[in-house]
């Protein structure tokens, strides 16, 4: 089924766009001090609820393009829980750190709040590779994660040397996971485009 | 690796989806194998051969042949 024929609320791009737009608006409000950090956190959690229809629309699209397996559905559900955990953990950690004077040990424990859900995301990805029975989909997921790894190593090394020679500002190390995930997403998109270019649309009819 | 999957499928009037369900894989997998973008593992190649009632050599063409 072509995405163009789907109603707006069933298109993953609609919900992904809504999510990014909400984050952009909340960030702008926060940067301009129009809202305080607690209000910003509550709005972020509310905006995150768009992940539920985004997930449903993505699963429906994957089903229609033949990419959906039981392992993909499990991966999506687990990742959804981990994402909620991450937003909650990060929000709670930042709120506490901004309001309470913490010892080093307490700071260590607070830092674990967003880290544990991220570990959950990494575990989810590992489980997917173990549970996926469709070897082609598994092959694609491995290629995409290697693409992400390549992106992290390239950008990280390049940025590190630029930082050493004081060309660019310091970047927190936690960026490795988002950069890897973005690289993986780009890899999936690139392979998806190659699929579409090479696919035989008459295949379903024959 | 080249293969005769599309021809064999057309002879039986099977869609990619029907073959995918028979093999227990995604339609995209069938499409990728058929268009030569993905070479299946030996167990999947045997499974494909079984579905068509042929040997692997009848379906997949060695480049030197």
Where do the structural domains in chain B lie, given as residue ranges? 2-60
Query: Which residues in A16-49 are b (16+ Cβ under 10 Å) and which e?
Result: eeebeebeeebeeebeeeebeeeebbebbeebbe
Q: B38: helix, coil or strand?
A: coil
Calculate how close chain B gets to A8, using CA atoms only, in Å: 25
Looking at the DSSP bridge assignments, the partners of residue B3 are B60
- Reading the block at residue A46, the tokens are 């509310």
ipTM entry: 0.90
The pLDDT tens digits along chain A (206 residues) read: 444 567 777 788 888 888 889 888 988 888 888 888 778 888 888 888 888 888 888 888 777 766 677 888 899 889 888 988 988 898 889 888 888 888 999 999 999 999 999 999 999 999 999 999 999 999 999 999 999 999 999 999 999 999 999 999 999 999 999 899 999 999 988 998 888 777 755 545 44
Angle at A24 (CA atoms; ends A23, A25), nearest 5 degrees? 95
pTM above threshold 0.80: no
Contact: A67, B16; criterion CB under 8 Å = no
* Cross-chain CB nearest to B35 (options A66, A133, A199): A199
Contact A134, B32 (CB under 8 A): no
Q: State the DSSP string of A25-37.
A: HHHHHHHTTSS-H
What is the CATH number that goes with domain B2-60? Answer: 1.10.260.40
Rounded Cα distance, A140 and A135, in Å: 9
> What are the pLDDT digits (tens) for B27-41?
889 999 999 899 999
On whether any CB of chain A is under 8 Å from the CB of B4, the answer is no
């Amino acid at each position: 089924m072509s995405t163009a024929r789907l109603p707006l609320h069933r298109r993953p791009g609609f919900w992904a766009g809504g999510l990014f737009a909400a984050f952009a608006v909340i960030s702008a409000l926060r940067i301009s001090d129009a809202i305080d950090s607690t209000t910003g956190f509550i709005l972020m959690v509310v905006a995150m609820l768009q992940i539920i229809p985004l997930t449903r629309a993505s699963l429906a699209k994957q089903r229609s393009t033949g990419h959906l397996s039981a392992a993909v559905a499990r991966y999506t559900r687990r990742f959804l829980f981990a994402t909620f955990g991450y937003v909650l953990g990060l929000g709670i950690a930042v709120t506490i750190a901004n309001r309470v004077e913490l010892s080093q040990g307490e700071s260590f424990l607070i830092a674990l709040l967003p880290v544990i859900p991220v570990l959950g995301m990494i575990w989810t990805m590992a489980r997917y590779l173990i549970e996926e029975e469709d070897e082609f989909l598994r092959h694609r997921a491995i290629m995409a994660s290697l693409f992400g790894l390549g992106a992290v190593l390239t950008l990280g090394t390049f940025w590190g040397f630029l930082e050493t020679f004081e060309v660019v500002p310091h970047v927190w190390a936690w960026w490795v996971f988002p950069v890897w995930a973005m690289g993986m997403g780009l890899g999936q998109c690139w392979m998806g485009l190659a699929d579409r270019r090479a696919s035989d649309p008459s295949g379903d009819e024959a | 690796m080249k293969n005769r999957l599309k021809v064999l499928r057309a002879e039986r009037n099977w869609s990619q989806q029907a073959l995918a369900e028979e093999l227990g894989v995604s339609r995209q997998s069938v499409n990728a194998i058929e268009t030569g973008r993905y070479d299946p593992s030996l167990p999947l190649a045997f499974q494909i051969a079984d579905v068509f009632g042929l040997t692997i050599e009848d379906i997949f063409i060695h480049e030197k042949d």
